[in-house]
Amino acid sequence: MKKILILNGPNLNLLGTREPAQYGYETLADVEENCRKVAAEYGYDAECFQSNTEGSLIDAIHKAGREFTQDECAGVVFNPGAYTHTSIALHDAIKGVEVPVVEVHISNVHAREAFRHHSYISPVAAGTIIGMGTKGYKLALDFLLDK
């Protein structure tokens, strides 16, 4: 079965306990389970991966790019966390592969600290969903899979 990659960056493993007023009470496991359900409705498997290290996220993007060219992966839903605002390497990884990537942020980064207003990911993403809570993951899946 064809898959979609749900990729989460640093500190998203703390969902449900880290700043719940900002990010809510759903855990990463809850988010991943919801993504699996939505993907299954479209006839896809959701492969979920979270890492606090930049290199592991880059490797996952490269792998998804290879799988996309082999028609094994439909795209990537990516919440890069704080790497959004700092990682030219993630920007280059996405730019270097053909797989469509939708950038997702649970909180409205534009209503937060000024350093969060710039994204290195947005210019190379197929789309960006910001501030819709964890429902942003579903919106990204709908965008990528409803063809």
Residues with a catalytic annotation lie at: 23, 105
Measuring CA to CA, how many Å separate 119 from each of 50, 61, 104, 128? Answer: 19, 17, 11, 10
User: Would the annotation count 11 as a binding residue?
Assistant: no
User: Would the annotation count 107 as a binding residue?
Assistant: yes
- How many C-alpha atoms does 32 have within 13 Å on its Cβ side? 15
Structure tokens at 38: 């939505």
User: Would the annotation count 85 as a binding residue?
Assistant: yes
User: Would the annotation count 117 as a binding residue?
Assistant: no
Annotated binding site: 79, 85, 92, 106-107, 116
Annotated binding site for substrate: 79, 85, 92, 106-107, 116
